[in-house]
Amino acid sequence: MGINIYTNCILSSFPLYLPHLIVSRDGGRLYSHFNLDIIFGANTRTPSLDAIELVMDIQKNIPLKDLTTFKIGGIARFFCRVTSEDELLEAIGFSKKEKIPFFVLGGGSNILVSDKGFSGIVIKMEMKGVSYSEDGISTLVTAYAGENWDSLVDEVVEKGLYGIENLSAIPGTVGGSIVQNIGAYGVEVRDVVESVYVLDVKDDEYKTFTRAECKFGYRDSIFKSDKDRYVIISATYRLSHRENIHSEYKDIKNYFFHNRNKKITLKNIREAVIEIRKAKFPDLAIHGTAGSFFKNPIVTTDKARTLLEMYPEMVTYPINQKHVKIPLAWILDNVCHVKGLRKGNAGPYKNQALVVVNYGGSQAVDVIALAQDMVDMVYEKTGIEIEPEVEYIA
C-alpha cells in the first residue's frame, strides 16, 4: 500500500517504520544498513484502531517565506518536521514512495526559495542535543544537525573551548555549518571537524565521514555538491582546551585597537565578532537577508597583480603561492559602486554591499535580477566571474 498522510491520528498498530539494522564493517568504517523499500514497501502494515499515535505529521501547502531569513519564497507542496532518525527515515521514505524530491531545511539562513515554492517535501531538521567527550587536550563536541549554531558556539566558549569563537553570530544550524563549510574572520568550520554522521539516501545506509571525506572547499562540501544524496544527522567537532586565538583578521585587529582596555581572550573574541557582525549585517527582525550573497573570489596571483595596478588600494589575502582571495565587498563598493542599486525592493545593504537585503515585499525574481546585475558589473570592471554563496531552491 502507499504512504498515507495522517494528522494527529490515533492508530492501533501503525506502519513498521523502524529500520531493521544490520551492522557491518567495510574498509574500517562501521555501517548501519536499512532498506527503505522494505520499511515503506509491501510489508508495511495497515493501521487499525488501538490507541497509538503516529509520529509523523506531513502537512500540505506550507508557506516557506517565514521559515527563511530572506522572508521570500512560495509554498512547499509537502512539509514535515523531524526530531529523530526514525522520523527522518519516514520523511525520506515518503519522498521515495511518492517519487518527489526532498529538501532539508535548517535555519533557512543561506537560501533563496523560488516564488513558485518547492514541488516536493521540505524536511525541517529539528534533531537536537549536544554531548561532550574528553580526548587528551581536546574535547570532542557532538551536536545534532538541528542545533542552533550560535547557541553551540556560546556554549563551548563558556566551557573554555577554543576553535569556533570566530564563527560567532552566524545564523543557521549545525547541519548548515557543515554543508556550507561556514567561515569568518580567518577561520572555517572544517578546521575543527572531526567527523560527520549522515544518512546516505542513495545507498540506504548510515555513514560516518571523516574530515577528508567531507571534501570541504571554500563554502563547499560533499554535502552541498551531492545534496540529494546525503542528509546530515550530527557533526563532531574537535575543540581545544589550549589557547588558540585567531585575531589577525583586519576587523578583529581594529576592534581591539579601538578597545585597548580589553584583553584578547576567548570570550572577548566572541564578543568582538558579534559586535563586528552587528555593525555590518542587517537586523533580521527588520530586514530579510541570507547574509553574504556571493563568495569572495579566488584569483591567480597574476590576475591579482593586474587588478592591483588598476586599484592599488584593493586588499588581497594569500591562499597559497599561486592564488589569493579578494574581498568582493571592496570591489562592489569601490569599483562597481552598487550601493543604492535596486530591483523591486531588493538591494545591497548600506553597510555591507556583499549582503543582499529584502527591504520589504521583495520576490525571488527581484533578488535574482539584482544578483545578475551585480555579476555583470563585476565582470565588466574586473574580468572576475563571481559565484553565489546562497543556494537557490526551486
The burial class, CB within 10 Å (0-12 / 13-18 / 19+), for 22 is exposed
Amino acid, single-letter form, for residue 25: R
For residue 24, what pLDDT is reported?
Answer: 29
Higher pLDDT, 192 or 50: 192
Return the closest-CA partner of residue 391 out of 283, 295, 277. Answer: 295
CA atoms of 35 and 52, how far apart (whole Å): 24
Q: Other CB atoms closer than 10 Å to residue 279's CB: what's the count?
A: 11
Q: Tell me the CATH class for 10-125.
A: alpha beta
Beta bridge partners of 197: 208, 234
| Residue 374 pLDDT exceeds 50 | yes
For residue 205, what pLDDT is reported?
Answer: 94
> Which backbone phi and psi does 296 adopt, to 5 degrees?
-70, 130
Question: Residue 181 CA to chain centroid, in angstroms?
Answer: 8
Higher pLDDT, 290 or 2: 290
Higher pLDDT, 362 or 52: 362
Mean pLDDT for 40-62 is 50
The three-point CA angle 13-16-17 to 5° equals 125
Please report, rounded to a whole number, the percentage of residues in the chain having pLDDT higher than 70. 86
Reported as a single tens digit per residue, the pLDDT across 29-40 is 333 333 333 333
Mean pLDDT for 22-29 is 31
Mean pLDDT for 245-268 is 96
DSSP per position, 40-81: HSTTPPPP-SSSEE-S---EEEEE-GGGSTT----EEEEEEE
**Residues whose CB is less than 8 angstroms from the CB of residue 195 and which lie 6 or more positions away in sequence, other chains included:** 208, 209, 210, 211, 235, 236
- In the chain, CATH 3.90.78.10 covers 281-393
Mean pLDDT for 293-299 is 97
* Total residue count of the chain as it appears in this document: 394
Q: Which three cell numbers stand for residue 136?
A: 587528551
Enzyme catalytic residues: 219, 292, 389
> Which backbone phi and psi does 126 adopt, to 5 degrees?
-130, 25
Q: What is the DSSP secondary structure assignment for residue 186, as one 8-state letter?
A: T
| Residue 97 pLDDT exceeds 60 | yes
pLDDT bucket at 51, cuts 50 / 70 / 90:
very low
| Residue 212 pLDDT exceeds 70 | yes
Would you say domain 130-198+210-240 falls under CATH 1.10.10.10?
Answer: no
Which pairing describes strands 102-105 and 118-125: parallel, antiparallel, or unpaired?
A: parallel
CB 228 within 8 A of CB 219: no
The three-point CA angle 78-82-85 to 5° equals 125
Provide the mean pLDDT of the chain: 87
| Residue 240 pLDDT exceeds 60 | yes
When the candidates are 3.40.50.12780, 1.20.120.430, 3.90.79.10, 3.90.78.10, the CATH number that belongs to 281-393 is 3.90.78.10
For residue 56, what pLDDT is reported?
Answer: 79
Beta bridge partners of 356: 348
| Residue 7 pLDDT exceeds 50 | no
- Range name among 46-50, 169-173, 238-242, 311-315 with the lowest pLDDT average: 46-50
| Residue 28 pLDDT exceeds 70 | no
For residue 55, what pLDDT is reported?
Answer: 60
DSSP per position, 86-140: HHHHHHHHHHHHHT--EEEESSS-SEEE-TT-EEEEEEEE----EEEEEETTEEE
Mean pLDDT for 9-23 is 27
- In the chain, CATH 3.30.465.10 covers 130-198+210-240
Please report, rounded to a whole number, the percentage of residues in the chain having pLDDT higher than 90. 84
- In the chain, CATH 3.30.43.10 covers 10-125
